[in-house]
Chains A and B, each alone.
Chain A
Amino acid sequence: MNLTDPQKDALVELLNIGFGRAGAALSKLTGQRILLEVPEVAVLPVAQLDASLGRLASDKVASVHQVFSGPVGGDALLILDPVAASTLKELLTDEAALPLELDASSREVLTEVGNILLNACIGTFGNLLRVPVSFSVPDLDVASLRSVMERMIASGDAMRYALVVTAGFRLREASVTGYVVIVLTVQSLTRLLIAVEQWVSREENA
């Protein structure tokens, strides 16, 4: 399933609203100006995610995972390679990061950042679809990207798609890139895309 250009543009615009909220929340929390940008969006089958995120070539990645449920349900993840994860933590807290396995503080901060960002994205979709969405408590995992993805594939029998959003954090004249991955069933994705198109026409008519 490929996105049409108008669909892509509309998704970027919507996600930017969510990212903007998340950036504002993080700025307020840390007392420094934090911008969050959405340079790229793509939709692809979950099975192809591993190849698509090949840029995260490191053995292990840090992933913050939240399940959301309601009329539109799925898994939302923020994925960072370990260097990006440590850099982000240091920029946010002014505290030297240790290897993630040893550093509960880093894991906790990244979990909170992921929580803010994923809540903002999914929350924006929920508002758009005018449906209630409920969330699980986020958890952070440090594992290979493949094992993270295998868990996604194994947890659903239906054919599932992933909405992959590049997330650029800009703070203190530095930038850190991560990925928000939203895994949806075909039905959920279809529902979302219809809602997006309706939103576009509403906006155009407004």
Chain B
Amino acid sequence: MSDIPRPPAVGAVERAMLRWLQEHGDRGVFTTDAALIVRSWNRWLAAATGVSTERILGQRLFDVFPSLAERGFDQHYAEALSGQVKVLSHSLHRFILPATEKGEQMPQRGQVGPLVEDERVVGTITIVEDVSERVFTERELRARIATAERARGMAEAASRVKDEFLATLSHEIRTPLNAVLGWTRILRSRDFDKATAERAVEVIDRNASAQLTLISDMLDMARISTGKVRLDIMDVDLSTIVMAAIDVVRPAADAKDVRLITELAPRLPPVGGDRDRLLQIVWNLLSNAVKFTDAGGRVTVAVNAQDRLVRLSVADTGQGIAPEFRSQVFERFKQADASSARRHGGLGLGLALVRELVELHGGSVGVESAGLGQGSMFTVTLPARPGAADSSRIAPRPGATVEPGTLGGVRILIVEDDRDAREIIVRSVTDVGASVTAVSSAAEALALLREGSATDVVVTDLGMPGDDGYAFLRELRKLPFDRGGTVPAIAVTAYATGEDRKRALQEGFVAHVGKPFAPLTLISTIARAVTNGRG
């Protein structure tokens, strides 16, 4: 019966609880008396601050931590002693007691409050919590939200680009169709004169071509982005490509009163490339330059070589590029002004195509512009063909130099059975000063030569009734030297595949020009054949 335990002495449980908090609490707790002398300091605080309980007990709080007073905590303690509870947030205070780990201050929050006994404030209690984990989590959360916001922004931008593109596309496809349909209706009315008819055909042709370019660009872009473009690589003289491209762009430049200037360095090494794609590159840059240059302006095309690189630059005096847009000019569907009030048509694909094609050739393309209204310069750099740096092959023969674009005094024998085709060739070369003899069959040509008719170059069709171009070349080579047996021969033909070209060159033609050809392609090919001599 005497086993009933005695109740603990008054205050024993409370003292035990305080000891427990002293040893095991997961936060810092300390108390002071009304004079701010530290009366308790738990194990957590000793570990966090490095100030042991033994050292601080009996000391004035601000003597041990002078920084507390410097940071205005004396006010908080004064208010606590007047009975107020003060909460101290991490965001506004960062920390309460200095406690560093690995050189970093522990983020803390806490509160300071009065200790009240018999309605009298006898001291203060301070609670300090480590909020590192929370601060870290919130920082992560903020970062994630920022990332999500950025992703959303990018998705919105992409969707905006697509919307703008679709709007531009429908506009760009519709515009030439309007012209084509309008003039077609006029022609169908059977109430027009010759001048109107010519104008109609010209407009329809121009607009249909524009639309073809548009669609070709889109298809090319699609092919490139699916990796389906194949390049037919051969040695190419970039200056002939430039001349051909200029020929295509000149009408548009003339119509706008924009001067086209070429600066082609002599003895350019060839680049390895696909002629059609290189032409597309140069043409795109040129037409772009003309498009963005106002009347009276200049577009200068230059080609030069340096350090096994061939550099093509297209500089204009046009509207230039705002610095903030410069990084985007080669992006698809990007035009500086995508608004409906924009002055310039197009899909914004041309320069994107240029970059893709140049990069497919192992080259690079860049743009410089001093800003809006300051013109711009696009530069394409392509590697020179290894081993082809021997420029003697294309060095001009003394005394027979032909300026690019002119064939002054060059004697050309043209063999072409089709009358229209013959006329186009004749017109192309006589316009630039060549003296031309044109016949419709191999037999006629051979007869003329045997009679002693002198010529510097022969331009012949391949597919002809009777002797075809190949048979003609074999017969030609049987003629003696002074009867033209060694003159260079150029094939101009609708057999325009890579295979056809290869065969023509194997059979002994110095060049192969596919139909339909740009007049300047033919002219520069002839010029090259003549300057390079006989083979």
Contacts and interface: CB of A to CB of B under 8 A. Distances in A.
Contact of B89 (A28, A105, A132): A105
A25 B72 CA distance: 10
A132 B91 contact: no
Contacts of B141: 98, 102
B83 A138 contact: no
Contacts of A96: 142
A123 B84 contact: yes
A115 B92 contact: no
Contacts of B90: 105, 108
A106 B142 CA distance: 13
Given A104-B138, A134-B114, A137-B111, A93 B85 contact: no
B142 A137 contact: no
Interface in A21-40: 25, 28-30
Interface in B68-90: 72, 75, 79, 82-90
Nearest to B146: A96
Given A28-B72, A102-B141, A105-B138, A112 B84 contact: no
Contacts of A93: 91-92
B334 interface: no
A96 B144 CA distance: 13
B134 A137 contact: no
18 contacts: A25-B75, A28-B72, A29-B72, A30-B92, A93-B92, A103-B138, A104-B131, A104-B134, A105-B91, A108-B87, A108-B89, A108-B91, A115-B85, A119-B85, A123-B82, A135-B83, A136-B85, A137-B113
A176 interface: no
A123 B113 CA distance: 14
Nearest to B114: A134
A197 interface: no
A77 to B, nearest CB: 15
B34 to A, nearest CB: 14
Most buried by A among B72, B93, B119, B138: B138
A115 B83 contact: no
A133 B92 contact: no
B89 A111 contact: yes
Contacts of B145: 98
A133 B91 contact: no
Nearest to B113: A137
Q: Which 7 A-B pairs have the closest CB atoms?
A: A108-B89, A112-B89, A93-B91, A119-B84, A109-B91, A109-B89, A115-B87
A95 B79 contact: no
Contacts of B111: 137
Interface string B87-122: 111111100000000000000010101101001000
A123 B111 CA distance: 18
Interface string A92-129: 11011010001111101101100100010001001000
Given A93-B91, A135-B83, 16 more contacts: A29-B92, A92-B92, A93-B92, A96-B142, A98-B138, A105-B135, A108-B91, A109-B89, A111-B89, A119-B79, A119-B86, A132-B83, A133-B83, A135-B84, A137-B111, A138-B87
B356 to A, nearest CB: 41
A66 B85 CA distance: 10
A68 B79 CA distance: 15
A119 B86 CA distance: 9
B87 A112 contact: yes
A123 B114 CA distance: 14
A66 B75 CA distance: 20
B89 A137 contact: no
Nearest to B145: A98
Contacts of A111: 87, 89
Contact of B87 (A30, A104, A126, A137): A137
A112 B88 contact: yes
A25 to B, nearest CB: 8
Most buried by A among B92, B116, B135: B92
A19 B447 CA distance: 116
Contacts of B72: 28-29
A192 B529 CA distance: 112
A105 B109 CA distance: 10
Nearest to A115: B87
A66 B113 CA distance: 13
Interface in B114-162: 114, 116, 119, 131, 134-135, 138, 141-142, 145
Nearest to B116: A134
Nearest to B86: A115
Interface in A48-105: 66, 89, 92-93, 95-96, 98, 102-105
A104 B87 CA distance: 14
Nearest to A136: B85
Nearest to B111: A137
Interface in A133-153: 133-138
Contacts of A30: 92
Contacts of A135: 83-85
Given A104-B138, A134-B116, A112 B85 contact: no
A125 to B, nearest CB: 13
B19 to A, nearest CB: 24
A26 to B, nearest CB: 9
Contacts of A133: 83
Nearest to A30: B92
Nearest to A137: B85
A9 to B, nearest CB: 27
